[in-house]
Chain A
Amino acid sequence: MKAALAVMEKDLRLAWRDRAGWLTAGSFAAISVLVYSFALDLAARDVRPLLPGLLWVTFLFAGIISSGASFHGEAERGTLDAQLLAPVPRTALYAGKLLANLVGLLVVEVATLALATILFDEPLLTPELGGILLVGTAGYVSLVTVLATLGSRVRARVVLMPVLALPLLVPLLIAAVRATGAALGEPAGEAPWLLLLAVFTVWSAVGSALLFPLAVER
């Protein structure tokens, strides 16, 4: 746990000093929401049924951008190896990176929700939506973090993320969109979407933690 916290603190400090990852992800999310608000005729149409999908697609790509940035240069400058040399479990290193990515992305997402609340005139900053956001984000960030690690070792890193991550994330995204829709009062069917989202998040976190040692193996 001490090692995971050390890695998390270090990654957050690096992200704060560099800011490129957060700024890119934040800018992407803000521009996306802004474009959606202009694209949809807010006066003539109820946009509420569309919001869950728009928000989660925005969060997904913002997450891929910011998580990828967390591994920027780690392989090239040898700092990933320097951490792997330490006598700590690989999963502790993974947990630290995951927590840093999660914190950074939640900041971006909350800011995006605040902007969307203004632009779409919908109350999006609610505790219920906050819970869905936390669970869903933890799920996809856990997967994206391990894939970003894998990507830092291969030449085809640009295509690795969309090719591997997006298909794997489809079940989580469906559950997250449905759960968000239900929280906004939209009909979401009988399925327990929040429970499914939580199950997928646990599966994703455990699977990724087990995969991480293999992803960094040479």
Chain B
Amino acid sequence: MSGERSVGANAVGIEARGLTKSYRGVAAIDGISFSLPPGSRTALLGANGAGKSTLLHTLATLVAPTGGSALLGGEDVAEAPARLRRQVGFMGHVPMLYEELTPSENLRFFARLYDVEDGAKRADELLRAVGLWTRRDEPTAVLSRGMHQRLALARAVLHRPRVLLLDEPETGLDAGGIDLLERLALRDEGVTVLAATHRAERIGRWATRRLVLDRGRVVGDEETAVAERGVEGAGAAGRAR
């Protein structure tokens, strides 16, 4: 357990400098520049096709940029991708889980890939935190969509990342699941969060910043105030990080 964290103590900043990704000459993101300070929690907004997913995939080193640079903690992701990947937790549109494996096996496999100390213990801890402890030995295929998403959340934070890149993480989650997501990831002050979302009504509960994309370009970048309601009580799930 990491215990209490001070704001941004372990987090690293995210920066984009003229970041561009084109597919067959069409720019999905087009010369994007922004700087997110360590510990900030940013809501990434924009219509479908605005470039949110491409931006997140590029920052996560899954997609190579065709121009500009992306930096995590001041380091270019193109120059030290393997080392920087250890600092990144990613949650995409799809849960990125093996249906034939159990939730416990899924987390233990990824714990081995990330060389997580006490991986089995950490996996058990997160299974309890996301409410899947009693379903830990069932095939993941039999779990509901929301449970898949809870497990995906556990996978994303398994290695205690310093940056969380989340692509519409609330997809498929019920109200309890969204609360869990906010406690476990979005309001964790020890990480820098960049989360694409369409749930504008929830942003005030966790976001300290809004970044708005339109057709691959930044059209809005502003700090916001986090509403006090619901912020207290990170609870057991929050402390699991």
Q: Which of B60, B97, B110, B113 contacts A77 (CB 8 A)?
A: B97
* Complex contact A81–B115 (CB within 8 A): no
**In whole angstroms, how far apart are the Cα atoms of A3 and B100 in the complex?**
20
Indicate whether A83 reaches chain B with its CB closer than 8 angstroms: yes
B62→A3 contact, CB < 8 A: no
Minimal Cβ-Cβ distance residue in A for B92? A78
A73, A82, A84, A89: the one within 8 Å of B110 (CB): A82
Q: Are A85 and B88 in contact (CB under 8 A)?
A: yes
Is B219 interfacial (CB 8 A cutoff)? no
Chain B contacts for A128, CB-based, 8 A? none
Expressed in whole angstroms, the minimum distance between the Cβ of B40 and any Cβ of chain A is 22
**Chain B residues whose C-beta falls within 8 Å of the C-beta of A2 in the assembled complex:** 112, 115
Bitwise, B95-115 to A at CB < 8 A (1) or not (0) is 111111100010001101111
Q: Are B98 and A3 in contact (CB under 8 A)?
A: no
Over the window 68-92 of chain B, the binary record of Cβ atoms lying under 8 Å from chain A Cβ atoms (1 yes, 0 no) is 0000000000000011011010101
B61 CB–A CB distance under 8 Å: yes
Q: How many of chain B's residues have a CB under 8 angstroms from any CB in A?
A: 31
CB distance from A181 to the nearest CB of B (A): 41
- Interface membership of A190, Cβ < 8 A: no
Residues of chain A lying within 8 A (CB to CB) of residue B112:
2-3, 6
Task: Tell whether, in the assembled complex, residue B64 and residue A86 are in contact, meaning their CB atoms are under 8 Å apart.
Answer: no
- Which of B82, B83, B112, B113 has the most C-beta atoms of chain A within 10 angstroms of its own C-beta? B113
Q: A6 contacts B109, CB within 8 Å?
A: yes
Q: Are A18 and B62 in contact (CB under 8 A)?
A: no
0/1 interface trace, chain A 67-84, chain B, CB 8 Å (1 if under): 000000100111101111
Distance between A75 CB and nearest chain B CB, rounded to angstroms: 10
Classify the secondary structure of A's interface with B: helix
Which one of B86, B94, B109, B110 lies within 8 Å of A78 (CB-CB)?
B94
- Cα separation A10 to B112 with both chains bound (whole Å): 11
A155 within 8 A of B: no
User: Chain B residue with minimal CB distance to A73?
Assistant: B99
Docked Cα-Cα span, A90 to B63, in Å, equals 14
> Per-residue CB proximity of B178-202 to A under 8 Å, as 1/0?
0000000000000000000000000
Give me the 5 closest cross-chain CB pairs, A-B, nearest first. Answer: A82-B96, A78-B96, A87-B86, A86-B113, A6-B112
B interface list, Cβ under 8 A from A: 57, 60-64, 82-83, 85-86, 88, 90, 92-101, 105, 109-110, 112-115, 139, 155
**Beyond A10-B101, A88-B82: 20 further Cβ-contacts under 8 Å?**
A3-B112, A6-B109, A6-B112, A13-B100, A13-B101, A14-B98, A77-B94, A77-B95, A77-B96, A78-B94, A78-B96, A79-B98, A81-B96, A82-B155, A85-B62, A87-B82, A87-B83, A87-B114, A218-B57, A218-B64
Pick 22 A–B contacts, CB within 8 A, sort by A.
Answer: A3-B113, A13-B101, A14-B98, A14-B101, A77-B98, A78-B92, A78-B93, A78-B95, A78-B96, A79-B97, A81-B62, A81-B92, A82-B96, A83-B113, A85-B60, A85-B62, A85-B90, A87-B83, A87-B114, A87-B115, A88-B82, A89-B82
